[in-house]
Amino acid sequence: MFYTGAPQNTNRGDIDEEITKEAQKIMLKENIDINKVIVHAPYIVNLANMNNFDFSVSFLQNEVKRCSLLGIKYLVLHPGSAVNCPREEAITNIANGLNLILDNNYDVTILLETMAGKGNEVGKTIDEIKAIIDLVKFKDKIGVCLDTCHLNDAGYDVSLFDDVLNEFDQKIGLDKIGCIHVNDSKNSIDSHKDRHENIGFGTIGFDNLINIIYNERLQNIPKILETPYVSKDDTSKEREYPPYKYEIAMIKNKVFDEKLIDKIREDN
């Protein structure tokens, strides 16, 4: 997964055809299936609120076009935040926005991410995600991204992930899951906080995350880590070292390494 620019802002350049071809060549060489590479939209677009609506729609129309030019099929989007607006209305606004954005000939699917429910975030329950999807006209171009930290923080017990999947299947359908963000959480279930933790070091724990990653029903769905960079030491606030290589090795090994953070620090 990558962002087409900084996650925190909406400044985006034009897509360079030459660099795109080069990237696709590298992916081919490295055995990376482009159908499993995903773009994440920036955090500040908000389809829920009419104040930002027009800008958000036009930004996302362009973002979908950028994805298409890059050969990317999936765009992850935070549904929005219902600031000064009833949730029912926010859901309608989001769906209206999606209907404007998806009315195109591009082969790009938008995946609505399940949210922790921090502040006025929309999409903190399977029912809310379903309510949005129900109002979207372009059913073949809308899907869902499950985020394990967000599900936990929103109140779902991810240690019983098959129960969560059963509810999802009954209400939306497992075929709508486009990707999974695998993150541990710094906070307890139902905390509505949204602070990610490294794999095995949070409240969800290693075994529960392994069960999700290797769940047979999710076999062909891309899993993406969004765990925090590791700081130099416990007192330092700056997070400098990417943990992904180490976490992926640990996941493949299926054995929790409680010394993983120390190991990352030593190696860097």
Residues making contact with Fe ion (CB under 5 A)? 113, 147, 181, 226
Pick between residue 42 and residue 102 the one whose CB is nearest to Zn ion: 42
Q: What are phi and psi of 9, to 5 degrees?
A: -130, 175
Question: Least CB distance from residue 264 to Fe ion, whole Å?
Answer: 21
CA separation for the pair 53, 93 (Å, rounded)? 8
Can residue 113 be called a binding residue for Zn ion (CB under 5 A)? no
Pick between residue 113 and residue 153 the one whose CB is nearest to Fe ion: 113
Q: Which does 128 bind (CB under 5 to 8 A by kind): Fe ion, Zn ion, none?
A: none
Q: Which does 194 bind (CB under 5 to 8 A by kind): Fe ion, Zn ion, none?
A: Zn ion
DSSP H/E element including 34: none
Which residues in the 175-194 window bind Zn ion by CB under 5 A?
194
**Apex CA 171: angle with CA 142 and CA 1, to 5°?**
40
**Pairing between strand 177-182 and 142-147?**
parallel
Q: Are 181 and 218 in contact (CB under 8 A)?
A: no
Can residue 153 be called a binding residue for Zn ion (CB under 5 A)? no
Query: Structure tokens of 248?
Result: 């992926």
Pick between residue 113 and residue 247 the one whose CB is nearest to Fe ion: 113
CB atoms within 10 A of CB 254: 11
Pick between residue 42 and residue 70 the one whose CB is nearest to Zn ion: 42
Residues that bind Zn ion (CB under 5 A): 194
